[in-house]
Structure 1
């Protein structure tokens, strides 16, 4: 009987259901015959279609079912089921699980158990497409699942509705608290009556799972460590279980270990349970208090001090155990917490023994003078210990080089073809590749086309069709691909440069980039390419040396060619700001119109002003009113004298509207002599960046810092936003570099930082951390000018609510003022210092005002924040 002919027909007609019934009826000889012929059929089918083509994937279910039924070894079946040919890389879960289980149902139990384990160990991620089959086979066979973390995470992601009846529960539940990745899968579980939280609480309530096992599992997971996201679900489960003092008692040592370094929510949960326990010794309490006051979260430090105070009031004999934690609290970074720690030390001093008093005495030198004197009157007989060495900020680091030379041009068609096959992600590689295409096409068009054609033929043709069905090409890579297609005669249509120019609201720098690439494509089609491009940068800032640009234009004239229009305009924008008289003289001797433009060129000035606006659905409103905050953003206004060159004028004009962007990391390199214009384009995207999302890095800010031209409000807004991003510690390096070069607009950064902080775009703690780091590395005078300019924006009006963390910002300002020797009252600080009250913020404001006016008789700083520093000069 022709088993194979019938099986092949069912596979080619994709009748997987009928195929499953047919292969189950095969005898041993029939299975061997089909097993021998299946690889040949797969090879034949693969040859008909492109890799990952949907037509080939459509045969996947039938091929998988046939292979599962006929291959002899479990290893061979496992390998066959998950061949890459059977599903595209973006495939979802398998939809043929029932069919495969049916065709292997008559296999020996040991064979099916072996397959189950092999499939389980193949799992790599929780949403692996083979997860469903592996779990179902483990359940059917009763096989104990292997210790494999992705399997546990996948089980969690697709557990059955009746969790208590799942045969895998007893095996995998203990591993739920140990396997990597489970916390990420369950991080959004928050409803205690639904999902995994509800299911586990219900199992504990019915006795299917012991409460003690769940509590122990959570504690064990906490001790393993992890981020707040990794532990979020387990923290919620632990809180929902709400262990009683008796249930928490066996884990007292564990909870104590969690206090110093575990994520805040875990430490807070552990602290609450420890506070409710009656069996803590004095040493346990001292350990807990000391761990809490050492935390960076002020909420936990405050709670630790409150626990200490209440415990000592209830049991005065604990005062001696409280001495060391209180001494540790003298190093807190909050004026409020320092004040509280000193008050508690004084309040409980009568019960502190000699050893504890010695610990407090040693820590007094960490306190500010006014608090140190109060503590000294009780613990040292009225004298304050000699202070240690005063921290002296270092000088600014050496100025790094502004730029370096770029890689030499592409020299061979082989190199051009190789680079064209790689993904172009940087402007340097893009510029080099575009220039190489133009130059090599002029030297050896046929040879370049022959070198590029194999790359195109090896790629998927569907990509080409899809690109040429689009309405517009808005990315540089699309235009480069179009030029290559035109060069190799593989483009489906001609005049793509006319058909695909963007009609959307594309940002002006990206539009300039598109025009440059489109004119290259047009010149390829019309065979009018010049021998080389003019705008290819010579330096890492994006600049083109004037002498090199003249030499390129001479080469174009000598070849009897015309430079490309957008290419010339981009080259002019890349000229350094400092004129080169010799290069200008050479340009004047050229006969082409382009030579005349270059000879007469002077860097146009473009001014940028910012206006901060806030609006909601009900109309404009005062953005300082944070209770109604919806959207705050700065809108640039540009002033530039027209040059008569349309793309130059378009780019320098900086339209006052939001535009689509495609290559914003490239923009500073396109405007290396117009720093403020490039910053104005970048600013909206930087300002609106989510503080919880990933950040691209400080490279745009660093590129702006190394560009030429005035540094004003737009650059200040970009750098201020980066300084407030905790994911961009490199922004401090950018500040230091600009300061060392004398080009840091410190007062303007302060004003923009104040607006960003007041609007809630950045967090106060993040800004303080960045500015403190910069001050400690030599930029203390610049940080003082930043803080002095920000304070008038940040200080609340009478009766207004201050921003969270503002007292810490004032402390930073006072420290920077001290290091800089700043003098001169700031009117807003003076006025707030005169208000009634005793809050921590008011205390810090008064100390800052006293520092600024000490020895000046209260003289106002009439010159504003720019003149309140020491000897540092503003760029």
Structure 2
């Protein structure tokens, strides 16, 4: 082979007769293959050993001449099937391309290319083919690879080998350090331990120091570090003990990282390491300022550790009373009850040992008067009662600070505070409660469609990438597409191309992918109209979908989704066959209602233009037309009949017909769930297209399925309330089972529709209230917030029936569908907005059912969270000054013990008897 290479080198340098220049620049000699051809054959065959041997004998100019052919092969393999031939070639290509780049930047880019990430050459092969470069070049390459993001998956063995060959400083980037950690921790490959490897590694000190500087490193280390005697944590602590790592630097680095880090994984890793280092008393005293700062850390584990350290120092008289008061002011403000109680215990010990400390510590204790947990408030008040005498009259400022904090106590504790502090109880009481509710939302008019195709293209592009599509925005864009198609179709198509260029159906035909099958199943919002406009779906497919559609689906949502889909398929079909001048059913208001006069004017314009209305579009317009003002309806009906068209006559009949009552609902129980059945809906327009005929069908309680096609498209629910505006009970009845999964099955996101239900028009009956009840017991906080928003909106609009909602909650808690602790969190959130009276009216209706089982048998263990729920009820009762009785409350309050349930039941009973007003 060396003889062949000699001849090939001559061929490269001298053009000989009979030779020809290849496309890559390599010269082929009569009867002899060029350098690039020989290398290329070996690469294609995946013969990595032969490739390495060929590269060893090449000069830099020869390698550069081979590079174009290797790049062409790379392009070929990108589109080739992922079979054994391509998999075999990739590692050899990876090594050859890296060696044939003579610049470090090009080599780094080739080595980390995404298309070769899954079939790389081994680090040993790469070091072999690159090892003959200059030391500076190798160091440059090592730094470039280490600077790549960790997603590039650069092998640590390659980077470490380049560092070793070049003698350059060890990189301390995220990619290098994480690779080092993973390499050290791969114990299954060798028989030694992490501690042994760290002792032998020459870069341990530098790379351990770098661990503390990489943002988000904890997410990589959390599962790698582990626990136990063979873990990283144990090894680092042992190396620090042995002096391999500087102890002061390690402790400082841990503390500094905790001070600037809020990521949970970072906190876990570096707190465990700090604990393993076990700082001495002297080391803890040197860092008092750090512990004081960490006491306010967002992570409760970090704050608890700092509080524990400062507590030990305080009991050893190693910190001043002022520093203890400073820490207490921070800790007593935290929501973690266990942490707050531990701090109050500490303050009690210090106050008993040194009564003179009351001057500085009792004002700090008063910070707990504003805590949301009244047990904490009472503990703090007991400390004040016990030690206020130590302040005396010589320190009026300290006494005034304690008195100022007493105004934050719950109403039941303020009387005790007044007596202890010698205050006027009437002056201490805040103003009478004033209920605060959000402003009732008002419907807004829809803006007209965009005037130009470019504005429309921008709006459509935003909708295509949005995960949160509002009905008014969607309807405005849909109407704009129809209008501009009628007036300037070619111009609109050209403007929309950049918007949809990356949609898969815009490309060439793909195997196993058919746009016609795709759009026959579902219109996918505006996509079907865009595909029709740009000629990416057959007209016959659109006709079939618009005439039939998947209305055979028995899903409880299909009656609403079929109407929504029918308009889209129809609009897409008319774009291709007979463009509409505009849509008739575009709402006037954000509530989904369409003004009668506006619909009459649209029909008149259709008549003038000789346009044929779309059947689905016109039927949807009839469902949306507003009929609550009889005088307006009668006048508009006369103008509609005067048009002399079939559509005008149908509109006139619709406007003059009576609005039907909401169908009767019936409750059904299924395991934990309470569900609803709804009777047939009458009063629908006559001559309904097929897609609309299921709207009047009764809704069965057990029709809903957890995973129906609409489960995967939650945005579509935003449009269902506009299918039949003013009929939210009908929509809510079809959503009850789905919303129930937020509480029963812990499904995330299904309660997002609740604020829309609350803002919609129409009666808010059993179905709406049952949906809100399930939402208040949802597993995920964002779903509970949606339910709270819905509750407050209903209350602000005067549509909340507290008896219905409270009764639902009582029943759902007893059946186990709603957990008391989740419900307590929801109602507390609602109350703290200022709606204490609203929340009390709900809890007052729910508590008799919740307390019945506990009162019947004192031995029955209360469900988790009942004490929290009673605490919210007591807070609401105190703030609003209500009086009265709650069934079964007295029996629960008389149970033995001092549990939170019993304490809060007693608090609520006393409040209701005295009518304490906050």
Give the Cα–Cα distance (whole angstroms) in 2 for the partners of residues 463 and 106 of structure 1.
Answer: 48
Q: Determine which of 254, 269, 272 is the counterpart of 2:290.
A: 254
Question: Which residue of structure 2 aligns with residue 825 of structure 1?
Answer: 885
Q: Determine which of 261, 275, 281 is the counterpart of 1:225.
A: 261
Q: Determine which of 730, 744, 757 is the counterpart of 1:677.
A: 730
1:309 aligns with 2:348: yes
SS of aligned partner of 2:678: strand
Q: How far is 1:821 from its partner?
A: 5.3
Question: Which residue of structure 1 aligns with residue 825 of structure 2?
Answer: 766
Question: Which residue of structure 2 aligns with residue 783 of structure 1?
Answer: 839
Give the Cα–Cα distance (whole angstroms) in 1 for the partners of residues 439 and 829 of structure 2.
Answer: 20
Give the Cα–Cα distance (whole angstroms) in 1 for the partners of residues 152 and 743 of structure 2.
Answer: 30
Question: Which residue of structure 2 aligns with residue 664 of structure 1?
Answer: 714
Q: Determine which of 319, 328, 339 is the counterpart of 1:300.
A: 339
Question: Which residue of structure 2 aligns with residue 181 of structure 1?
Answer: 216
SS of aligned partner of 1:402: coil
Give the Cα–Cα distance (whole angstroms) in 2 for the partners of residues 610 and 197 of structure 1.
Answer: 61
Question: Which residue of structure 1 aligns with residue 757 of structure 2?
Answer: 704
1:353-389 superposed Cα distances (whole Å, 9 cap, x missing partner)? 6546565455444434654444555554x87694265
| Distance of aligned partners of 1:454 and 1:848 in 2 relative to their CA distance in 1, 3 Å threshold | closer
1:403 aligns with 2:403: no
1:127 aligns with 2:151: yes
SS of aligned partner of 1:181: coil
1:107 aligns with 2:145: no
Q: How far is 1:106 from its partner?
A: 1.6
Q: Determine which of 388, 393, 399 is the counterpart of 2:434.
A: 393
CA contact (8 A) 1:319 1:349 kept: yes
**Bigger Rg, structure 1 or 2:** 2
CA contact (8 A) 1:713 1:752 kept: no
Question: Which residue of structure 2 aligns with residue 618 of structure 1?
Answer: none
Question: Unpaired runs of 5+ in structure 1?
Answer: 616-631, 857-868, 871-875
1:517 aligns with 2:568: yes
Question: Which residue of structure 2 aligns with residue 71 of structure 1?
Answer: 101
CA contact (8 A) 1:732 1:771 kept: yes
* Residues 656-665 or 154-163, more deviating: 154-163
Give the Cα–Cα distance (whole angstroms) in 1 for the partners of residues 280 and 617 of structure 2.
Answer: 74
Q: How far is 1:832 from its partner?
A: 4.0
Give the Cα–Cα distance (whole angstroms) in 1 for the partners of residues 147 and 802 of structure 2.
Answer: 57
CA contact (8 A) 1:611 1:636 kept: yes
Give the Cα–Cα distance (whole angstroms) in 2 for the partners of residues 470 and 156 of structure 1.
Answer: 51
Question: Which residue of structure 2 aligns with residue 571 of structure 1?
Answer: 621
1:431-464 superposed Cα distances (whole Å, 9 cap, x missing partner)? 4454455455555667766776788787653675
CA contact (8 A) 1:409 1:435 kept: no
| Distance of aligned partners of 1:606 and 1:23 in 2 relative to their CA distance in 1, 3 Å threshold | farther
Q: Matches of residues 280-429 of structure 1 in structure 2 within 5 Å? A: 280-283=318-321, 284-313=323-352, 322-348=361-387, 354-355=394-395, 359-368=401-410, 371-375=413-417, 377=419, 379-380=421-422, 386-387=427-428, 389-390=430-431, 393=434, 396=437, 398-408=439-449, 412=453, 415=456, 419=460, 423=464, 425=466, 426=469, 427-428=471-472
Q: How far is 1:252 from its partner?
A: 4.3
Give the Cα–Cα distance (whole angstroms) in 2 for the partners of residues 365 and 418 of structure 1.
Answer: 53
CA contact (8 A) 2:520 2:541 kept: no
Give the Cα–Cα distance (whole angstroms) in 1 for the partners of residues 424 and 455 of structure 2.
Answer: 80
| Distance of aligned partners of 1:196 and 1:829 in 2 relative to their CA distance in 1, 3 Å threshold | same
1:22 aligns with 2:54: yes
| Distance of aligned partners of 1:336 and 1:240 in 2 relative to their CA distance in 1, 3 Å threshold | same
Give the Cα–Cα distance (whole angstroms) in 1 for the partners of residues 809 and 567 of structure 2.
Answer: 37
Q: How far is 1:500 from its partner?
A: 8.4
Q: Matches of residues 406-555 of structure 1 in structure 2 within 5 Å? A: 406-408=447-449, 412=453, 415=456, 419=460, 423=464, 425=466, 426=469, 427-428=471-472, 430-441=474-485, 461=507, 465-468=511-514, 478=524, 481=527, 484-485=530-531, 488-491=534-537, 495=541, 497=544, 501=550, 507-508=557-558, 509-520=560-571, 527=577, 531-554=581-604
SS of aligned partner of 1:179: coil
Give the Cα–Cα distance (whole angstroms) in 2 for the partners of residues 739 and 524 of structure 1.
Answer: 45
Q: How far is 1:549 from its partner?
A: 3.4
Question: Which residue of structure 2 aligns with residue 650 of structure 1?
Answer: 694
SS of aligned partner of 2:676: strand
1:719-766 superposed Cα distances (whole Å, 9 cap, x missing partner)? 556667644767766555443333344444444556677722863563
* Residues 16-25 or 536-545, more deviating: 16-25
Question: Which residue of structure 1 aligns with residue 186 of structure 2?
Answer: 161
CA contact (8 A) 1:781 1:820 kept: yes
Question: Which residue of structure 1 aligns with residue 848 of structure 2?
Answer: 792
Residues matched between the structures, number? 829
Q: How far is 1:75 from its partner?
A: 2.5
Q: How far is 1:670 from its partner?
A: 3.0
CA contact (8 A) 1:293 1:301 kept: yes
Q: Matches of residues 56-95 of structure 1 in structure 2 within 5 Å? A: 64-82=94-112, 86=115
1:567-617 superposed Cα distances (whole Å, 9 cap, x missing partner)? 3443344333525333333444566665554433355544485858574xx
Give the Cα–Cα distance (whole angstroms) in 1 for the partners of residues 597 and 810 of structure 2.
Answer: 44
Question: Which residue of structure 1 aligns with residue 227 of structure 2?
Answer: 192
Give the Cα–Cα distance (whole angstroms) in 2 for the partners of residues 137 and 541 of structure 1.
Answer: 67
CA contact (8 A) 1:330 1:363 kept: yes
CA contact (8 A) 1:228 1:265 kept: no
Give the Cα–Cα distance (whole angstroms) in 2 for the partners of residues 716 and 135 of structure 1.
Answer: 62
1:96-120 superposed Cα distances (whole Å, 9 cap, x missing partner)? 6554433222222221111221222
| Distance of aligned partners of 1:591 and 1:668 in 2 relative to their CA distance in 1, 3 Å threshold | farther
Q: How far is 1:156 from its partner?
A: 4.8
Give the Cα–Cα distance (whole angstroms) in 1 for the partners of residues 400 and 462 of structure 2.
Answer: 71
Give the Cα–Cα distance (whole angstroms) in 2 for the partners of residues 45 and 818 of structure 1.
Answer: 77
Q: How far is 1:325 from its partner?
A: 3.4
Give the Cα–Cα distance (whole angstroms) in 1 for the partners of residues 89 and 659 of structure 2.
Answer: 64
Q: Matches of residues 628-639 of structure 1 in structure 2 within 5 Å? A: 632-639=672-679
Question: Which residue of structure 2 aligns with residue 739 of structure 1?
Answer: 795
TM-score (norm 1): 0.79
SS of aligned partner of 1:637: strand
CA RMSD of aligned residues (A): 4.9
TM-score (norm 2): 0.75
* Residues 549-558 or 218-227, more deviating: 549-558
CA contact (8 A) 1:188 1:233 kept: no
Q: How far is 1:27 from its partner?
A: 0.8
Q: How far is 1:26 from its partner?
A: 1.7
| Distance of aligned partners of 1:419 and 1:574 in 2 relative to their CA distance in 1, 3 Å threshold | same
CA contact (8 A) 2:843 2:873 kept: yes
CA contact (8 A) 2:359 2:391 kept: yes
| Distance of aligned partners of 1:321 and 1:699 in 2 relative to their CA distance in 1, 3 Å threshold | same
Q: How far is 1:337 from its partner?
A: 1.6
